Amino acid sequence: MARMKRTDGIGNRWIGCALAALALATATGAKAADDWAYYGHDAGGQRFSPLTEVNRANVGKLQVAWTFHTGDINDGKRGQRSGFETTPLYIDGRLYLTTPFNRVIALEPTTGHQLWAYDPKIDLAGEYGDGMISRGVAAWRDPRGGKGGACTLTLYEATLDARLVAVDAATGKPCAGFGAAGEVSLRDVPNFEAGPYHMTSPPAVVDDTVIVGSAINDNTRVDMASGVVRAFDARSGRLKWSWQPLEPHPGVKSGAANAWSVMTVDPKRHLVFIPTGSASPDYYGGLRPGDNHWANSVVAIDARTGRLAWGFQLVHHDLWDYDVASPPMLTTIEHAGRKVEVVIAANKSGFLYVLDRDTGKPVFPVEERSVPQSTVDGEVTSPTQPFSVGLPTLAPQSLDAGQVFATSAADKAACKATLAKLSGLSIFSPPSVQGVLAVPGNVGGPNWSGFAFDPTRGLLIANTNNFPYVVKLIPRADFKWSPGGDLGAESGTQKGAPYAMSRAPFLSPSGVPCAPPPWGMMTAIDLNKGTLRWRTPFGGMSEINASFAGFKPGGSVNLGGAITTAGGLVFVGASIDRRFHALDIDTGKELWTAELPASAHAMPMTYSAGGTQYVVIAAGGSAKLGQEKQGDALVAFALSKGP
């Protein structure tokens, strides 16, 4: 997983989850320079703002301008814990956000005053696989709409209970002409199961078409729900096309390979770029032989027809939950003396891939290299995997006894003893009954946080995790299910397969990772040169375990992406220590930090309103990690007007 996806209805309360796409299509494709009209600011998801009022010289004067509380918190005593992970849109002078209960809210941008709220009324006691999470809405401007007409600007949300809703951005009322009274059911898929099939990410919109994926539980059974991607007419809600990520083969039993993270679009090419996850079940592939196209891939789909333009698979026959969790990012780089329009892709393996946008072919070298083979009965491992050899990796990909980290001799001995029992200690070590160390692991690498880009510098910014897991296959006759716990073992039945599974972070008896710090990092890659510019730890984890307090800089396991600005800044929350950070984009040095009401596992955004630049982030804590303080605050920062 990138997320820790839930298994058997009991989630690993740890890290995880899923993002998916936002897009604003207009008749001309134009938008105001200071609008944040897509999840990643622009259609291709660069997450770069041209605003400069807040910059390296004055960022230290940022202070809270306003705070809005949604009131939507679930502590898990009834239903599941909530996590506030929205990234608002800013369009036509209004902010639009979602809450963990799938309520859509419009705010006045200079005060945070609520203008309206729409409630789709999901079951708050339901079990939704990833916890109660919604990361935002998509927006579409109808080129046929008259000024002030109903649903001229429409907001689309995919709900936890598998509905696609359309709301008038002006009033917050459902768009009556869309589906049935403003909504379309997304439950009509093979092997649908309420709860394990859900939505946490917003759709994408291009060519008057709304495109939606899904989040699907991991490791529950072999034949999980289909990971079909569907497209609907933006006005009527009529189904236009559907695309199945798994190519049908006789005798193959599988499902999922779903698009749970953020999609991006290229309106000029009429393409939507879809990141897909692993086929089910994650850790045993004996019933799904072959490479499992197009799981673990970035695919380019013609938004008008649903036809595959090209696909690039980042992992063949995935056995590690190495989903393509990071949203594909579209940008232009200078390579071999010319400008090249590219797609940037990454997954939890820590590899970074740069693909030609028209063909999907690698721009920097990728080699198919031999990898260890499985000895598990019935498993046929892919003989090779695609190694990105032309770019720096974003996370460590192996760990041996000489690299073990510990705070005491007893802890070090325990960590080494665990390693000695395992059958593999590197990125593509196939799961076994003996157990393997998954490095970076299902929480590792850039995860759904993805990356931001500064087009003026050619710099890619990624926040990443270094947090290996111990993964074991359990023969069916020996399996006893248990829910695990915070930072504890997670079990999955993998029903229908001869093996169940368990996975747990590689921790010492004192609860500190056996992998050396930093456990969370910010990394800058120069994509014009293909070189590392800087790497720095950020954040801390003492809030969940006092043992972490002494490590400076230890870095924090983090989820929630960064943004860049023309003011030379990187803004990021993500860390467990409830801090919001501003870094110098040229050096990685932290220039400013502020304490938030709760940790901010959401991507921030920025906009200008009333002559002032605001930087906004949702602070809600984690839906997975029980020790984290929960919150419901959307916090806006602006420069102090005082001396």
pLDDT tens digits, residue range 134-171?
A: 999 999 999 988 556 899 999 999 999 999 999 999 99
Q: Which amino acid is at 281?
A: P
Least confident of 302-316, 338-352, 618-632: 618-632
In a domain, 391, yes or no: yes
Amino acid 282: pLDDT: 95
| 3-class DSSP assignment, residue 412 | helix
| Run of H or E including 414 | helix 409-421
pLDDT at 610 over 70: yes
The whole-number average pLDDT for the span 190-210 is: 95
Q: Show the tokens assigned to 194.
A: 């309420």
Any catalytic annotation for residue 92?
no
Pairing of strands 24-25, 215-216: unpaired
Pair 596, 590: CB distance under 8 Å: no
pLDDT at 588 over 80: yes
Tally the residues of the chain.
643
The whole-number average pLDDT for the span 77-101 is: 95
User: Which residue do the tokens 């400008």 mark?
Assistant: 339
Write the pLDDT tens digit of every residue in 324-370. Answer: 999 999 999 999 999 999 999 999 999 999 999 999 999 999 999 99
Angle ∠(493,162,320) on CA atoms, nearest 5: 35
Q: Which amino acid is at 553?
A: P
Amino acid 568: pLDDT: 98
CATH number at residue 454: 2.140.10.10
Amino acid 6: pLDDT: 31
Structural domain span for residue 460:
24-638
High-pLDDT (> 90) share of the chain, %: 81
Amino acid 620: pLDDT: 95
Report the domain count for the chain: 1
pLDDT at 527 over 50: yes
| Model confidence band, residue 93 (pLDDT cutoffs 50, 70, 90) | very high
* DSSP string for 136-161: --EEEE-TTPPTT-TTSEEEEEE-TT
Q: Show the tokens assigned to 150.
A: 């109903």
Pair 536, 263: CB distance under 8 Å: no
Closest CA to 99 of 631, 605, 574, 636: 631
What pTM does this model have? 0.93
In a domain, 543, yes or no: yes
pLDDT at 614 over 70: yes
In a domain, 491, yes or no: yes
In a domain, 11, yes or no: no
Q: Which residues contact 121 (CB under 8 A, 6 or more apart)?
A: none
Q: Which residues contact 329 (CB under 8 A, 6 or more apart)?
A: 40, 44, 45, 46, 47, 264, 343, 344, 450, 451, 453
Least confident of 86-90, 306-310, 417-421, 464-468: 464-468
Least confident of 52-66, 333-347, 487-501, 604-618: 487-501
Amino acid 208: pLDDT: 96
Amino acid 24: pLDDT: 34
Sign of the Cα torsion 7, 10, 16, 22 reads: positive
The whole-number average pLDDT for the span 188-214 is: 96
The whole-number average pLDDT for the span 21-29 is: 30
* pLDDT, mean over the chain: 91
Query: 81-110 in b/e burial notation, b at 16+ Cβ within 10 A?
Result: bbbbbbbbbbbeebbbbbbbbbbbbbbbbb
The whole-number average pLDDT for the span 113-125 is: 96
Q: How far apart are CA 60 and CA 12, in angstroms?
A: 38
The whole-number average pLDDT for the span 241-252 is: 90
* DSSP string for 537-584: E----TTT-GGGGG-TT------S-EEEETTTEEEE--STTSEEEEEE
Closest CA to 475 of 450, 500, 492, 506: 500
| Terminal alpha carbon distance of the chain | 48
Write the pLDDT tens digit of every residue in 214-240. Answer: 999 988 999 999 999 999 999 999 999
Amino acid 482: pLDDT: 65
Q: How far apart are CA 494 and CA 7, in angstroms?
A: 9
Sign of the Cα torsion 637, 638, 642, 643 reads: positive
Q: Which of 321, 323, 411, 577 is catalytic?
A: 321
Sign of the Cα torsion 244, 311, 437, 509 reads: negative
Amino acid 147: pLDDT: 59
Amino acid 4: pLDDT: 31
Q: How far apart are CA 589 and CA 612, in angstroms?
A: 25
In a domain, 12, yes or no: no
In a domain, 121, yes or no: yes
pLDDT at 8 over 60: no
Sheet holding 271-275, edge to edge: 264-266, 271-275, 297-302, 308-313
Amino acid 9: pLDDT: 33
What backbone phi and psi angles, to 5 degrees, belong to 595?
-80, 140
pLDDT at 81 over 70: yes
Amino acid 483: pLDDT: 60
Closest CA to 199 of 140, 259, 154, 256: 259
10: burial class by Cβ within 10 Å (0-12, 13-18, 19+)? middle
Closest CA to 574 of 585, 563, 566: 563
In a domain, 8, yes or no: no
Amino acid 18: pLDDT: 26
In a domain, 18, yes or no: no
Residue 354 to residues 67, 247, 384, 564, Cα–Cα distance (Å): 39, 25, 20, 20
pLDDT at 248 over 90: no
What backbone phi and psi angles, to 5 degrees, belong to 476?
-50, -40
Q: Show the tokens assigned to 319.
A: 């056995």
Sheet holding 490-492, edge to edge: 436-438, 469-475, 499-505, 490-492
pLDDT at 444 over 90: no
